[in-house]
Structure 1
Amino acid sequence: MLAKTGDKKALEEIIIKFTPFIVKTAKRTYIRGYEYRDLIQIGQVSVIKAVNMFDVNRIGSFTTYVMNAITRNFYNLIRCNVKEGCCCSLNSIIDCGAELIDVIPSEENLEEGFEKKEERMLLKKGLDNLSLKEKEIIYWFYFENKTLNDYAKAKGICYRTAVERKKKALEKLRGNFYGNL
């Protein structure tokens, strides 16, 4: 093995051979404080160390040895980084003197949630005020997504009657809904 004896060209060829694996491993690794290029360099250093430490009299494969060395070095770096981790609590005091939890923007809009709840309550109340036939046509059309023509056929009424029944039910709902806002 020429690279082990100090042949720089042979060592470069080995590093180039393992660069795709290093890049793939670096892309799926996140270590706080390290950039993508840093991880690639660490992987390349791992290859150099593996070449120097590999025992040519071993029975195992050199390729497997190097790939395991790269992976183990990334894992070791992750472990060391986790041990150095900082304490971060939502109740930590930040620079402006406020707690961290107080300055985190919320995507939840409480007002919108209350409005939707109120609208559902008004709609339920409005549905309760409809006659059985009106409830039936609203359910048929809006919840079962069936046509008025099918409703008219199923109930043995003319299409125009079905249209008027739906129209009357919607007017009642609208009046009940907007009358209470």
Structure 2
Amino acid sequence: MHLEILVKKAKEKDEKSIETLLLNYRPFMLKQCKLTYLKDYEFEDLMQICSLSLLKAIEKYKLGNNNFTTYVTNAIRNNLSYLIRQKARDNYTESLYKETGDGISIMDGLKDEFSIENSVELKFNLEKLKIVLKTLTPEELEILDWIYFKDNSLLDYSKVHNINYSTLRKQKERLLKKIRKLMQ
């Protein structure tokens, strides 16, 4: 029997058609359930969700589209994915502040990335960079500003200032080398 006719009968609540569709898509549902793991969900629970997704897809499918297989497989995958995302969201909201025992939460054990040494080193490097930038020529500063602060391309700079692109690229490389050397 043609799939569209079978879906039409299923939409009209023909139990034999619904059963046939459930049997036809059972291998796909089995595969999706084997690929899905959710804590506190049994395999049968996942199969039930897939079956309900199929039934819902039958109700919502617009006859005449001739793409029921795509529609139903996407519906099943999407519903399982939604369930996974929902469970993951629930786990995130619970897990960080959940006590692990001894009155300590996971959040208490997370490492703080801030350190005074890193902060001082960053400040030192910024001061050093300011000094290095003062030693550059106005043309070199303009190139840096054009590329890194105004987010323009080297090619655009070469066109606007009528400079050969290759020459400008080499000039940029020398400039960066100069900055690296002065930063040491």
TM-score (norm 1): 0.49
Q: What TM-score comes out, normalization by structure 2 length?
A: 0.48
Structure with the greater alpha carbon radius of gyration: 1
